[in-house]
């Protein structure tokens, strides 16, 4: 709009300039009407050309043309005759030539007359546009901000969604209804009006909704729940009405509301009571879904990761009839997800995506996509043409523990403590049948950790018993006990391990009924505020005596885990020492090398320990000699234990 105003002003200026150039009086000398009459009386005027109020006078014996002006009501001929000046074509007469107004002149005069009004209107329009932009398009508050995607050229199909086979089966009926509605109507079946996708962040809820639209080849209206609500009352409800009006005009269609918990939280829990803007928006959504025609080919798909805070009215039959849960993918699902996101990326022949899938339990689809992207970035950073297992393993470590802290400098003593700490975790985890196998142990600093030990489950188990959790607690205390055994006193590096052990013991006693003394019941009830969407307190539904018993049971479980850990370390102390010294040397040991190292015969382990100690002593001597050589100063002074000697 600003450019349009500028161009308009320039155009008007050009028109004015052209008009000024081509006006009849342009470039001529102007004289008074009385002077013209005097010249006519003297016989010096040959002709007078009249154009409205402008007079162009041609003088005798000269090519000069002068101009003058008359009053609008007066006539030139009458003025001349009143002054006894003959008019006509005779020898001593003055010829009067009358011309009508030109079209250009009229147009130009019109522009001149209306020019102030045009300029004022342009300025006013410009100011209104500026004010409208400043107020975020105030004139279109009630319009929906939904983004429409045409179904003619679908970009996402079910083949592009991996690891959610059960969810895809549930949604195939929706696709079939959108494609062949008469098949269902003829038998009296009603397709679900709404489908609620429930799952953790990154499980593919939005992608699956787009795949439904792509398979059905229908328009897809996408909007976030937060986009309904503004600071102005009634805007959210108006946007809901506009969204559904657009969808009905383009039916069959899909309306997708992402993060519906932003407006769909339980009513009556907001700070504004039952009449705040968010609840009005929710009420309008409920009304629109109830108002669907029974034969309407319009389906609402919503996504959330907080189904516990949604209003019950949303979940009743007739609104969101069907709820589809998207779980984190299992091993097979993770492999399928990796295959989908691996398209278009070059890999070396030795790359095994199945191995990567085994290393990533608990990863969502978004995590796996990010993993492959990080591997591609690392490959490009190294100026390599293909992605190898080194980049994939590094990406897994980055996502789990963070990037390497190459700038962090550890002293030899600190490095030794970290090595024995992580070796303690690895040894206790390796020699317990109930614990998960140790996959990798490293003392390379990553994120907030000085090192870490990573275990992988044998399979994707979802149910665990008491023995498993006791083994986990013992493994978590492995670093603490190892520091205590080899250095006499533990360091602060075990604070996170102790916190995890305490939390596991608490859950075992208060939630999972794994306490023989307290029995099979839960203790404590969490209170949450729906409006905030988070737990704010835990209500104690037990006595002070029971609280003491809970504390005692937690202490007993932690003490038992520590005793179990101490027993394993005492039995395999030599292997722990070998592993720690090896870590100091190589920094990282993975599953196969760890297995070979810990399964060695006792004599081999003893020989390896002696060899490692000898190498460390040799390294210490070399470092001392190098330090002495560097301390040579001017005058050939060398430092030795007995003091400086001058050669």
- Which residues are identified as catalytic? 422
For residues 516 and 556, what is the distance between their CA atoms, to the nearest angstrom? 11
Exposed e or buried b per residue across 500-534, where buried means at least 16 C-beta atoms within 10 angstroms of its C-beta: ebbebbbebbbeeebbeebeeeebeeeeeebbeee
From 6, 88, 82, select the one nearest 46 (Cα to Cα).
Answer: 88
Instruction: Give 253's contacts (C-beta < 8 A, 6+ positions apart).
Output: 218, 219, 220, 221, 247, 297, 298, 299
From 336, 398, 395, select the one nearest 371 (Cα to Cα).
Answer: 395
For residues 392 and 395, what is the distance between their CA atoms, to the nearest angstrom? 5
Judge if the upstream peptide bond of residue 215 is cis by omega within 30 degrees of 0: no
Bridge partners, 438 (sequence order)? 455
For residues 54 and 101, what is the distance between their CA atoms, to the nearest angstrom? 11
Instruction: With beta carbons less than 8 A apart as the criterion, state whether 85 and 41 touch.
Output: yes
CB burial class (10 A; 0-12, 13-18, 19+) of residue 644?
exposed
Q: Which long-range contacts (CB under 8 A, 24 or more apart) does 633-636 make?
A: none
For residues 211 and 303, what is the distance between their CA atoms, to the nearest angstrom? 14
Bridge partners, 525 (sequence order)? 539
For residues 40 and 561, what is the distance between their CA atoms, to the nearest angstrom? 129
How far is the CA of 539 from the CAs of 119, 525, 535, 547, 555, in angstroms? 71, 5, 11, 12, 22
Exposed e or buried b per residue across 93-118, where buried means at least 16 C-beta atoms within 10 angstroms of its C-beta: bbebeeeeeeeebeebeeeeeeeeee
Q: To which residue do tokens 């199909």 refer?
A: 157
CA torsion sign for 151, 154, 155, 160 is positive
For residues 188 and 460, what is the distance between their CA atoms, to the nearest angstrom? 42
Helix, strand, coil fractions of the chain, as percent rounded to 5? 50, 15, 35
Helices (H), 325-440: 331-341, 353-358, 365-381, 389-401, 412-430
Q: How many CB atoms lie within 10 A of CB 198?
A: 20
For residues 361 and 457, what is the distance between their CA atoms, to the nearest angstrom? 8
Token pair belonging to 603:
């004599």
Q: How many CB atoms lie within 10 A of CB 369?
A: 18
Instruction: With beta carbons less than 8 A apart as the criterion, state whether 518 and 550 touch.
Output: yes
Instruction: Give 210's contacts (C-beta < 8 A, 6+ positions apart).
Output: 149, 155, 156, 220, 222, 256
Exposed e or buried b per residue across 277-312, where buried means at least 16 C-beta atoms within 10 angstroms of its C-beta: bbbbbbbbbbebbeebeeebbbbbbbbbbbbebbbe
């Amino acid at each position: 709009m600003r450019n349009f105003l500028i161009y308009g002003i320039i155009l008007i200026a050009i028109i004015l300039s052209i008009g000024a150039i081509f006006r009849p009086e342009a470039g001529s000398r102007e004289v008074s009407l009385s002077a013209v009459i005097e010249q006519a009386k003297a016989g010096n005027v040959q002709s007078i050309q009249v154009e409205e109020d402008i007079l162009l006078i041609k003088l005798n014996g000269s090519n000069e043309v002068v101009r003058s002006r008359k009053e609008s009501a007066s006539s030139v001929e009458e003025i001349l005759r009143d002054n006894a000046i003959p008019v006509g074509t005779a020898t001593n007469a003055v010829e009067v030539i009358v011309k009508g107004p030109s079209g250009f002149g009229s147009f130009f005069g019109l522009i001149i007359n209306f020019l102030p009004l045009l300029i004022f209107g342009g300025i006013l329009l410009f100011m209104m546009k500026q004010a409208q932009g400043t107020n975020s398009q105030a004139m279109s508050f009630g319009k929906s901000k939904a983004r429409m995607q045409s179904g003619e050229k679908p970009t996402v199909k079910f083949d592009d969604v991996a690891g959610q086979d059960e969810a895809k089966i549930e949604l195939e009926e929706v696709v079939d209804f959108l494609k062949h509605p008469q098949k269902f109507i003829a038998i009296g079946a009603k397709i679900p009006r709404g489908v609620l996708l429930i799952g953790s962040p990154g499980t593919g809820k939005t992608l699956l909704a787009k795949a439904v639209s792509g398979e059905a080849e229908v328009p897809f209206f996408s909007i976030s729940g937060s986009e309904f609500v503004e600071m102005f009352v009634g805007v959210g409800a108006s946007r809901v009405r506009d969204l559904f009006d657009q969808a009905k005009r383009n039916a069959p269609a899909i309306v997708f509301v992402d993060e519906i918990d932003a407006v769909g939280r339980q009513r009556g829990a907001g700070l504004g009571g039952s009449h705040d803007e968010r609840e009005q928006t929710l009420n309008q959504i409920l009304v629109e879904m109830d108002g669907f025609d029974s034969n309407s080919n319009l389906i609402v798909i919503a996504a959330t990761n907080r189904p516990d805070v949604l209003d019950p009215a949303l979940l009743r039959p007739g609104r969101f009839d069907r709820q589809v849960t998207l779980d984190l993918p299992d091993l097979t699902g993770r492999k399928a997800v990796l295959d989908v996101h691996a398209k278009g990326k070059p890999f070396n022949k030795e790359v095994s995506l199945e191995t990567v899938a085994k290393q990533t339990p608990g990863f969502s689809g978004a995590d796996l996509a990010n993993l492959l992207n990080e591997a591609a970035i690392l490959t490009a950073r190294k100026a390599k043409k293909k992605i190898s297992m080194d980049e994939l393993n590094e990406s897994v470590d980055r996502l789990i523990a963070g990037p390497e802290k190459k700038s962090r400098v550890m002293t030899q003593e600190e490095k030794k403590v970290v090595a024995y700490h992580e070796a303690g975790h690895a040894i206790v985890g390796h020699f317990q049948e109930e614990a998960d196998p140790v996959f990798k142990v490293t003392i390379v600093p990553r994120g907030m950790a000085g090192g870490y030990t990573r275990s992988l489950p044998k399979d994707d188990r979802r149910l665990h018993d008491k023995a498993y959790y006791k083994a986990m607690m013992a493994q978590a205390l492995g670093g603490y006990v190892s520091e205590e055994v080899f250095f006499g006193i533990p360091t602060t590096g075990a604070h996170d391990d102790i916190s995890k052990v305490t939390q596991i013991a608490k859950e075992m006693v208060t939630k999972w009924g794994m306490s023989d003394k307290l029995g099979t019941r839960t203790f404590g009830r969490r209170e949450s505020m729906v409006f905030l969407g988070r737990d704010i307190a835990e209500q104690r539904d037990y006595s002070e005596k029971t609280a003491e018993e809970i504390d005692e049971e937690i202490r007993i479980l932690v003490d038992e885990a520590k005793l179990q850990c101490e027993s394993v370390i005492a039995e395999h102390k030599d292997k722990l020492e070998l592993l720690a010294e090896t870590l100091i040397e190589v920094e990282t040991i993975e599953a196969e090398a760890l297995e070979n190292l810990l399964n060695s015969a006792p004599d081999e382990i003893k020989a390896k320990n002696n060899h490692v100690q000898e190498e460390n002593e040799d390294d210490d001597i070399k470092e001392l000699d190098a330090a002495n050589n560097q301390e040579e100063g001017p005058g050939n002074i060398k430092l030795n234990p007995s003091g400086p000697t001058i050669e």
